[in-house]
Amino acid sequence: MFMIRWLWKNMKGDRGIYCAALCMTVISQAMYIISPYLTQQIIDTFLVGEEAAENLRTGVDRLIFMLVMMVGFTLLRCVIQYSSNMCYEHASQGIIYRVRKILFDNIEKQDAPFYDRHRTGDIMTVVTGDLEMVRHSIAWIIKTTLECIVLFSATMIYFFTIDWLMALCMLILTPVILLITRGFKRVVGPFYVDLREKLSDMNTRAEENISGNRVVKAFAREDTEIERFDKTNKAYNEANKKAAFTWLKFFPGLEITAQSLSVVCLLFGGIFVALGRLTFGEYAAFSGLIWTLSNPMRTLGNIINDYQRFTASANKIIELYYGKPFIVEREDAEEVEGRIKGRVEFRNVSFSYGNTQVLHDVSFTAEPGETIAIMGATGSGKTTLIDLIPRIYDVSGGQVLVDGHDVRMMKLKQLRGSIGIATQDVLLYSDTIEGNISFGNIDLPQEEVEKYAKAADADGFIRKTSDGYDTIIGERGVGLSGGQKQRISLARALAVKPSILILDDTTSAVDLETEKNIQDALGKLDFPCTKIMIAQRISTACRADKIIVLRNGTIAECGTHEELIQLDGYYREVYDLQK
């Protein structure tokens, strides 16, 4: 019932048209009784009755009228059924549009831990294949279930109006059908849950190999990755066959039982006609409507089959639909007046991924306009530390403050809108170079785009591309070098004129001359900005007002370039290696 209520909730805007479709389904299925009823009247009145010859001679007009009625009602039923199908399709397309929009909105608002828990392939399966199953349930499963119920019920009511004993004989096999379908539902359910997981695994494997194709080629791993994908593909194939073959095991029982209705009708109908309990016309009505009983019985297995698929898909959709991020804006969040000045303070900050502690008791302050360089060995917690400022993650202990305000008490849009971030692992969109640079401010004038591209030392190579700033960048920046992507990323961060600029080893892929040009430009920005950068090169760190060295999640060294090279520590080791 929860899933039905969930579907109804998301059908807002199409409920009227869907209810109309349901009503038309009831009417069209009930109309199947009309032709057999008229056939019964024609046979008993004009063909086999004692006065059939006289009725045929004197009542030709009535016979023609009944025949015309049969044709007319058949055409009317087809029109109603076609109209209902159009309404079902309209409503089902409407609901998946709304649900997909809500899912994407929810995915966009999720925090980093969400993406740590969910694979990309699993999310893609939800917003594509699983949603299509929801559409199928509305346009086919519910529709077909109602058709079967109405058709079966209308037929049995009609049968009981003709002869109650013959009607009971036609119901004699119903308990057998119910037992078979109940057993099928109990067995097949877990198979579709497993099938859904195997599909997600296959999609994840495909997505990883498509996005990482250059890495696969670089290591000549095509054959290995083909083999690994084939393994997941085979697992999905086996799960699919297991579910399908389970249905095929039960299908003969359903089919034989449904076909046995013809034998029941022939046997008991023949006896009752011979005894005079039924007329030939009434027997013809029973015989002509056997399919209205056997067809729902056959279809019942397909309905259960698809319903189990729908349940497995809907559970995944609902999990994502109602999923809430852990990092949210508090109701009592503060709106900081004016432009953020850029004072950043870490006060006894600790952070853990699950049971693994990454940062412990980290404290330092970056005054407005200062440049802070963060260094340390791989895994020392550098990236995690800067992720705490825009609340990509939240601290486990202590506080991160911006202009004296705990970031957890600030408006998220204001906080993140005041921070420009350029990462080492650059993500560029399939858009123009100008569109990528102005991503954080879509109304940025062309001259501003060019100004920040120059500040990132990107203007030169941009103008050499085929269409300059209008050049379309391939997916994830395909066609650009690592250094070029980093410079566009830096220009994108500068274009929002941030109060706090976070650079995660942004110049690691550029040459020393380009790095010098970028550092010179960063020192001459036309807006106040506090810069916090992760650095691996001494040439980058030496210009900072303060250098912080992390070791095992704690501050091991802190000072200026001149102060730290006097110490026998990590910074001096790196300095000696790079000088």
DSSP, collapsed to helix, strand or coil, labels residue 22 as helix
d(CA 534, CA 386): 9
Q: What's residue 303's pLDDT?
A: 82
Q: What's residue 489's pLDDT?
A: 86
Q: What's residue 475's pLDDT?
A: 64
Chunked mean pLDDT (size 10), the chain, 579 residues: 82 90 93 88 79 76 87 93 92 89 86 78 82 85 89 90 88 79 73 77 76 67 81 85 77 77 86 87 86 79 78 84 84 84 92 87 91 88 90 91 91 89 80 87 87 87 86 72 83 89 77 78 84 86 89 90 87 83
Topology of domain 2-321, CATH: ABC transporter transmembrane region fold (1.20.1560)
The CA angle 3-5-10, to the nearest 5 degrees, is 95
Q: What's residue 19's pLDDT?
A: 92
Entry pTM: 0.74
d(CA 10, CA 189): 25
Q: What's residue 78's pLDDT?
A: 93
Q: What's residue 477's pLDDT?
A: 63
**Of 544, 518, 531, residue with least CA distance to 421:** 531
Q: Is the dihedral of CA 571, 486, 395, 117 positive or negative?
A: negative
- Extended strands (E) in 367-436: 371-376, 397-402, 405-406, 419-422
For the purposes of burial, counting CB atoms within 10 Å of the CB of 352, is it exposed (0-12), middle (13-18) or buried (19 or more)? middle
Q: What's residue 509's pLDDT?
A: 62
Q: Which amino acid is at 459?
A: D
Q: What's residue 75's pLDDT?
A: 94
Domain regions of the chain by residue span = 2-321, 344-578
Q: What's residue 76's pLDDT?
A: 94
d(CA 332, CA 409): 7
d(CA 226, CA 228): 5
CATH number for the domain running over 344-578: 3.40.50.300
Give yes or no on whether 2-321 and 344-578 have one common fold. no
Task: Give the count of beta carbons closer than 10 Å to the beta carbon of residue 279.
Answer: 18
Q: What's residue 26's pLDDT?
A: 94
DSSP 285-353: HHHHTHHHHHHHHHHHHHHHHHHHHHHHHHHHHHHHHS---SS---TT-B---SS----EEEEEEEEEE
Q: What's residue 288's pLDDT?
A: 85
Contact (CB, 8 A) for 349 and 362:
yes
The CA angle 60-61-67, to the nearest 5 degrees, is 90
Instruction: Give how far the C-alpha of residue 44 lies from the chain's centroid of Cα atoms, to the nearest Å.
Output: 60
